[in-house]
């Protein structure tokens, strides 16, 4: 009995590197994870965006200060990431609403809609990036 227990394989504890490089998630899994990440990013970015709005509405000098601030390339890059988060969260949210209505639940439709969410969010982000720069 002890030898059988000794030969039994031990469970593998998953690390971040295992999740990123060893385990192959389907596209639907990536869309789900990115939906959660984009939601958290939008939550924390809301404070920064509200600060910029408040500062820009405080007066002409505040507006000019925010105008110069937004012209910096790290700020533009951060705004582009926030635009991606919004686009992805919106598109994936629509996909999940359709899944709740049992539309596109089968494997091929779910995979196709996952790729569509990724493509649409990147295309919308490219549009926002074009306007930003």
Tens digit of each residue's pLDDT (9 = 90 or more) over 113-129? 999 999 999 999 999 99
Question: What are the structural domains of the chain?
Answer: 26-132 (1.20.1300.10)
What's the pLDDT at 102? 92
Mean confidence (pLDDT) of the chain: 90
Residue whose token pair is 């192959």: 24
Tens digit of each residue's pLDDT (9 = 90 or more) over 59-99? 999 999 999 999 999 999 999 999 999 999 999 999 999 99
pTM of the model as a whole = 0.80
């Amino acid at each position: 009995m002890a030898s059988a227990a000794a030969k039994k394989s031990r469970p593998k504890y998953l690390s971040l590197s295992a999740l990123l490089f060893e385990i192959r998630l389907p596209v639907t899994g990536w869309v789900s994870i990115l939906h959660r990440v984009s939601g958290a990013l939008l939550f924390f970015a809301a404070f920064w965006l509200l600060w910029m709005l408040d500062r820009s509405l405080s007066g002409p000098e505040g507006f000019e200060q925010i105008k110069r601030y937004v012209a910096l390339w790290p700020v533009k890059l951060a705004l582009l990431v926030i635009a991606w988060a919004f686009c992805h969260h919106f598109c994936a949210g629509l996909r999940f609403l359709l899944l709740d209505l049992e539309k596109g639940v089968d494997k091929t439709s779910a995979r196709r809609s996952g790729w569509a969410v990724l493509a649409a969010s990147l295309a919308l982000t490219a549009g926002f990036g074009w306007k930003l720069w």
